[in-house]
């Protein structure tokens, strides 16, 4: 990639950002498509986020990703929000829309689309189904909104370590709960909900590298053939949760596709180009993320 006076920039604003795979994903895609663009990660302290967003406009950036802890803080800095960003209450993608007269900032949340796309092949099973989401943090928020607005589940249980956090999530998203499906419980109360669920989603970091012997649901006997178990963790690709579920005949989905597809949903808004997914997947494999080809 050669950087010159025409190079257009995209950033990641987070704190910290050193662990992020987004620079690898997006720069691989820019290079594969011969786009004169570069993606740079910036560690921005909370008190500097407003200045950083103003800098995107001043410096002609195409846009930015936003990650922890700024996803909520940038909301009021946007001129327009997608329905997903407004519902989830978090922006992970900023698009700088330029006309000759002005620049407007569009805030989106592509975690919603990234989460839903791997569920497309099983969507028939999920309409009106019973679902359990483990965890009540930022990712769970996008997942619960995605499930409510797409599948209108009969029952959607949020099971979390900190019950009050789950209650807050359920309260915030109650406006999208047409079937009065939302229920909140602590993890140790969730056994029958897990057993009866068609889809179980892990939105906690339990089982993530380097603690990959951990699992958010140690009772593997609660999984069955009829279930789909979806772990948002992408490293390792086959978490202990997914291994346990698969051993009991459940269908499993790992977090790597969501990682790539949420990035692709941002990329197309900055470049008007679909992300070259195979090239990106290969670059991630070379970096030790996902199966070797």
The residue ranges that bind ligand NAP (CB under 6 A) are 111, 114, 135-140, 160-162, 165, 203-206, 208, 216, 232-234, 255, 258-259, 262
Q: Identify whether the C-beta of residue 73 lies closer than 8 Å to the C-beta of residue 46.
A: yes
What are the tokens at 134? Answer: 């483990």
Name which of 92 and 96 has its Cβ closer to ligand NAP: 92
CB of 19 to ligand NAP, least distance (A): 10
- The nearer residue to ligand NAP, 129 or 265, going by C-beta atoms, is 265
* Alpha helices (H) in 89-197, listed in sequence order: 111-116, 123-126, 138-151, 163-172, 191-196
Burial of 213: CB neighbours in 10 Å, binned 0-12, 13-18, 19+: exposed
Cβ proximity to ligand NAP, 41 vs 206, nearer residue: 206
Burial class (CB in 10 A: 0-12, 13-18, 19+), 292: exposed
> Cis before residue 272, ω within 30 degrees of 0?
no
Close Cβ partners of 136 (under 8 Å, ≥ 6 residues apart): 158, 160, 162, 165, 166, 168, 169, 203
- Tell me the closest approach of the beta carbon of residue 22 to ligand NAP, in angstroms: 10
- Active-site annotation holds for 282: no
Please state the closest distance from residue 68 (CB atom) to ligand NAP, in A.
6
- CA distances to 65, 218, 237, 286 from 292, in Å: 27, 28, 11, 8
- Minimum CB distance to ligand NAP smaller for 82 or for 96: 82
Q: Dihedral of CA 33/142/241/21: which sign? A: positive
Give whichever of 96 and 182 is closer to ligand NAP, judged by the CB atom: 182
Angstrom distance (rounded) from CA 137 to CA 125: 26
d(CA 224, CA 246): 9
* 28 or 262: CB nearest ligand NAP: 262
Report the 10 Å Cβ neighbour count for 51: 10
CB of 124 to ligand NAP, least distance (A): 23
Give me the least distance between CB of 291 and ligand NAP, in Å please. Answer: 15
Give min distance, CB of 83 to ligand NAP, in A: 19
The residue at minimum Cβ distance from ligand NAP is 137
**How many alpha carbons lie under 13 Å from residue 264 in its C-beta half-sphere?**
18
From the candidates 71, 125, 235, 282, which is the catalytic residue?
71
List active site positions: 71
């Amino acid at each position: 990639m050669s950087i010159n006076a025409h190079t257009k920039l995209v950033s990641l604003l987070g704190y910290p950002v050193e662990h992020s795979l987004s620079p690898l994903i997006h720069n691989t895609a820019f290079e594969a498509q011969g786009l004169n663009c570069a993606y740079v990660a910036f560690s921005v302290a909370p008190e500097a986020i407003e200045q950083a967003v103003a800098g995107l406009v001043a410096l002609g950036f195409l846009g930015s990703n936003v990650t922890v802890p700024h996803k909520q803080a940038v909301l009021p800095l946007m001129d327009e929000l997608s329905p997903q960003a407004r519902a989830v209450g978090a922006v992970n993608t900023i698009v700088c829309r330029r006309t000759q007269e002005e620049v407007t900032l569009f805030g989106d949340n592509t975690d919603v689309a990234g989460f839903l796309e791997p569920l497309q092949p099983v969507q028939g099973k999920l309409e009106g189904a019973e679902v359990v989401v483990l965890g009540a943090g930022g990712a769970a928020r996008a997942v619960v909104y995605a499930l409510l607005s797409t599948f209108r589940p009969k029952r959607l249980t949020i099971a979390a370590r900190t019950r009050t956090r789950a209650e807050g999530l359920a309260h915030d998203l109650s406006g999208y709960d047409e079937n009065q499906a939302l229920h909140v419980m602590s993890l140790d109360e969730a056994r029958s909900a897990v057993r009866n669920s068609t889809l179980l989603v892990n939105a906690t970091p339990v089982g993530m590298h380097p603690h990959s012997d951990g699992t958010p649901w140690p009772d593997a006997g609660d999984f069955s053939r009829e279930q789909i178990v979806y772990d948002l963790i992408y490293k390792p690709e086959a978490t202990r949760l997914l291994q346990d579920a698969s051993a009991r005949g459940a269908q499993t989905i790992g977090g790597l596709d969501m990682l790539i597809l949420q990035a692709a949903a941002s990329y197309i808004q900055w470049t008007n180009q679909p992300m070259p997914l195979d090239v990106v997947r290969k670059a991630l494999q070379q970096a030790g993320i996902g199966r070797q080809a």
